[in-house]
Amino acid sequence: MVKKNINLGLIGLGTVGIGFIDLLTAHKKLIFDKTNLNFIIKKAVVSSLSKKRPPCTDSIELSTNPDFVTEDPDIDVVIELSGDISLALQALKNTLSHKKGFITANKALIAEKGEQVWPLFKQHNSLIGFEACVGGSLPIVKVIKESFMPEQISLVATIINGTANYILSTMEQEQLDFAEALKLAITKGYAEPDPTMDIDGTDTAHKINIIANLAFHRAFKFTKIDKEGIERITKKDLIYAKSLGYVVKLLGIAKKTDSNEHHIAVHPTMIKESSSLAPVRGVYNAALIRGDFLGDSLLYGEGAGAHPTAVAVVSDLIDVVSNLTFVESAKMRHFPQTAYNFQKGELLAVTELKHEHYLRLTVKDSIGVLSKVAKIISANEISISKILQQESSINDNQHLIDLIVITHRAKDVNIKKSIAQIDAEDFSCISPVHLRIEKNI
């Protein structure tokens, strides 16, 4: 039976949910002209029935019970926008058991519950959409699944948290400290009132985990991802990086090594000013995908916010509906059962990898300090490429200096040993700041 009117049930009616309604309303004719489909939001599940909502929700039936939409035979597709992992997982299971389509923007659901989620995706692959979990307006899920299907991906390097990228960009361009840039981000609505998951790297880790699973056809445990945030970065670090020809970005990186091992990490990273990721500033996101035959491809766009996320949700919605049996469409995209048939993935620890490194050591301006620093670093089998000395400040009538140490390629585990040993010395006044350097991104 051909069906043009598609009934939708939402779980979550917050900022993203309202953005989704805005898009369907504004582009209703455009979507119909392109797809011959008319999407109707019938019902929504909310946390509170008494909350005041905009007029665009007046025609939607509301409930606090997820079964209100997942078990309603008139609902064709459930769109989960709640951000609650437990609620989303149960809704996913109930929805698929009733043979409905399921779209989610819940990155934590897929990243942290992958052992339960991916088998469900494998079983019901044509009824699932999760582009909005990763890059907002960057269609990275679709690109990896479709455009890169015949390609061997060796690297995905991403800037996929708009809050963190805005903070670092603002610190660099406006010469602000971290706290000042964060306050400005919150004021402008680019950061949540509690931005912890954005600045400590958790949000990026959720997203790069999903990307890595798709890129390498492996199921990697989220808890095994090496993760660092941007909290300790100062405007001085950005100035020093620039003087050396680098910029600092919070990167989510997924690599396949020459020995066929895999590594996923999130950390602030120094990349060359000539890198294709270097000009990505403000709330914009980007993903660099490297393949054996295609070389480097770059996706760029706004990655967060209600409207970019809504575009990703509607795109998924059209694909999923095209695969439901009651719809005739010239745009069928039915992926094989092997699409999510992931092998168990093991991750190489960051401590075993080799990088060039940046260290900022704030130390007393005393005779012999430099030689002591060099001796500690050398004792940990690290070769120094360059040392710069900059006056830092005066603390308790003691002049302090910043020693900027750039190393040759060295194991992270040896760098961490050096940092701990230097930090324990009397001449060290502030815990060292450490950044990895990626010259091939």
What is the total count of domains within the chain?
A: 3
In this structure, the answer to whether residues 73 and 161 fall within a common structural domain is no
In this structure, the answer to whether residues 228 and 323 fall within a common structural domain is no
Residue 209 has a CB neighbour count (10 Å cut-off) of 28
| Residue 245 burial class via C-beta count within 10 angstroms: exposed 0-12, middle 13-18, buried 19 and up | exposed
In this structure, the answer to whether residues 150 and 124 fall within a common structural domain is no
In this structure, the answer to whether residues 18 and 114 fall within a common structural domain is yes
Q: Which of 59, 48, 40 is nearest to 13 (CA)?
A: 48
At residue 332, the pLDDT reads 46
β pairing state of 226-227 and 354-364: unpaired
In this structure, the answer to whether residues 247 and 298 fall within a common structural domain is yes
- Higher-confidence residue: 365 or 340? 365
In this structure, the answer to whether residues 370 and 255 fall within a common structural domain is no
In this structure, the answer to whether residues 290 and 146 fall within a common structural domain is yes
Known catalytic residue at 207:
yes
**Residues 20, 23, 29, 33: is their CA dihedral positive or negative?**
negative
Interval 105-161: pLDDT, tens:
999 999 999 989 999 988 887 789 999 999 877 899 999 988 898 999 999 999 999
CATH number where 52 lies: 3.40.50.720
Q: Which of 249, 156, 267 is nearest to 201 (CA)?
A: 267
Supply the pTM of this predicted model: 0.92
**Final residue belonging to a domain, choices 271, 302, 333:** 302
In this structure, the answer to whether residues 123 and 244 fall within a common structural domain is no
β pairing state of 398-407 and 384-395: antiparallel
Answer yes or no: are the C-beta atoms of 56 and 22 closer than 8 Å. yes
In this structure, the answer to whether residues 155 and 273 fall within a common structural domain is yes
In this structure, the answer to whether residues 149 and 103 fall within a common structural domain is no
Marked catalytic residue, from 113, 207, 249, 417:
207
Interval 219-258: pLDDT, tens:
999 999 999 999 999 999 999 999 999 999 999 999 998 8
Q: Which of 137, 129, 133 is nearest to 109 (CA)?
A: 133
Interval 84-101: pLDDT, tens:
999 999 999 999 999 999
CATH number where 397 lies: 3.30.70.260
Q: Which of helix, strand or coil describes residue 280? A: coil
Query: What confidence tier does 395 reach under pLDDT thresholds 50, 70, 90?
Result: low
At residue 189, the pLDDT reads 86
**Percent of the residues in the chain that have a pLDDT greater than 90, as a whole number:** 78
What is the domain range of residue 146?
A: 142-302
Q: How many helices (H) and strands (E) does the chain have?
A: 15, 19
- Measured between alpha carbons, how far is 61 from 59 in angstroms, rounded to an integer? 7
Token duo for residue 338: 């092997």
In this structure, the answer to whether residues 234 and 320 fall within a common structural domain is no
Rounded to whole angstroms, what are the CA distances from 16 to 21, 75, 204? 9, 20, 18
- Measured between alpha carbons, how far is 100 from 80 in angstroms, rounded to an integer? 13
At residue 331, the pLDDT reads 46
In this structure, the answer to whether residues 295 and 147 fall within a common structural domain is yes
